[in-house]
Structures are given as C-alpha cells and as structure tokens.
Structure 1
Amino acid sequence: MKMLDDDIMAIMAKTLAEQQKLQQDRIIAIVLKAVASELASFGIEDDDRRKMRADFQHLRRWRKSVEQAQSFILKAVITVLATGLMGTVWLGVKVVLSK
C-alpha cells in the first residue's frame, strides 16, 4: 500500500509539473504576442531589432558625448571666470601700487 501511495504521489507531481510548464509556456506566448503587438502599434516590427539596437547604441553614445561636452563647458566657464577675476585683481593691484 505504501508503494502504491508513493507511485500515485510521483505521478501526480509529474502531472502537475507538466501542467505548470504548459501554463507557463502559454503565459510566455501571450506576453510575447502582447509585447510584439504593442511594439507594432508604435511602428516597430520584429525584423527591426538589429536596427533598433544600433539606434539605441547611437543614442547612448550621443547622450554620453553631450554629457561630456557639458562637463567641459562647465570647466571652461569656471576657468574663464577665475582668469577674469584674477586679471581684475591684478589690474587693481597694479593701479594701487602705481599711485
């Protein structure tokens, strides 16, 4: 009797695992179909994946270069302001010392 119960439990476990796998496969198929449908509504087809990846990589490089340029511009502005301030102080010192 114990062996029979173990066999039944094993069969039930296997059956439930197969059902769960089938259900997960169906869920994945539904999700993929929904995502593909949404992307298609934006004009993005499955065949465009490589092109889109290249576009996103280009956009990322563009964004990084813009961020780097902003950093350089900020440094340049600070340098110009500091140089102007130092020049003003130097001219002030020259005027005071020449009197």
Structure 2
Amino acid sequence: MKMPDDEIRAIVAETLAEQQKHQQESIDAIVLKAVASVLASFGIEDDDRKEMRADFQHLRRWRRSVEQAQSYTCKAVITVIAAGLMGAVWFGVKVVLSK
C-alpha cells in the first residue's frame, strides 16, 4: 500500500519540527550553562541576579546624573564666558562714550 505524498510530507515536516525543537532546547541549555559558568568565574552566582540588577540600575542612574551635571556645567561655563565678554564690551563702550 502506497502512502499519499501529502501524508509523507506531513510526517516529514512534523519530524523535522520536532527535531528542531529538541535542538533548540539543547542549544538553550548549553548557552544557559555557558553563561552561568562565565558569570560564576567572575564570582557572580545565580542568587546574585537581583542584586546585580539593582547595581546596574544604580550605575545607570549615577551615569545619567553625571552626564546631566556635565551638561549643566558646560552651559554654566558658556554663560559665564558670554556674560564676561558682554561685560567687557559694555565696559569698553562706556569708556569710549565717556571721553
């Protein structure tokens, strides 16, 4: 008895899909184990994830506040220089007009 081509294709597709699923699960397990191994080599255990996340969030907030402070400092320096130049020009104009 010969099987129809559609049935054969369906069986092959199902088998390939199941193989791909098993391969993906194996890859995921290998990657997870490798990442855990690398983190453990840095002294970071699985239990430390929440603390690490909090540390990274703190570092991000710190970095943003430093960047903001740098921006404000740059603006303040430019303002002081501009005010100094305008004051010098004003003083020069006053001296020239008072003669």
**Letter of the structure 2 residue corresponding to residue 65 of structure 1:** S
Which residue of the partner structure matches residue 32 of structure 1? 32
Distance 2:7 2:85 in 1: 89
Instruction: Write out aligned runs for 1:1-99 (5 A).
Output: 1=1, 3=3, 5-99=5-99
Kindly provide the CA deviation profile for residues 8-61 of structure 1, in whole angstroms up to 9, marking residues without a partner as x. 443333233222211111111011000110111111111111111111111111
Moved more, 32-41 or 8-17: 8-17
Question: Structure 1-normalised TM-score?
Answer: 0.87
Comparing 2-11 with 27-36, greater Cα deviation is found at: 2-11
Letter in 1 for 2:48: D
Whole-angstrom distance in 1 between the partners of 2:95 and 2:4: 108
Report percent identity of matched pairs.
80
Count of residue pairs the alignment pairs up: 99
Alpha-carbon offset, residue 4 of structure 1: 5.2
Ranges in structure 2 where 5+ consecutive residues have no aligned partner: none
User: Alignment RMSD, CA only?
Assistant: 1.7
* Alpha-carbon distance between aligned partners in 2 of 1:19 and 1:98, rounded to the nearest angstrom: 94
Give ranges in structure 1 of 5+ residues lacking alignment. Answer: none
Counterpart secondary structure, 2:70: helix
Give the secondary structure class of the aligned counterpart of 1:44. coil
- The residue type equivalent to 1:85 in the other structure is L
Deviation at residue 91 of structure 1 after TM alignment: 1.1
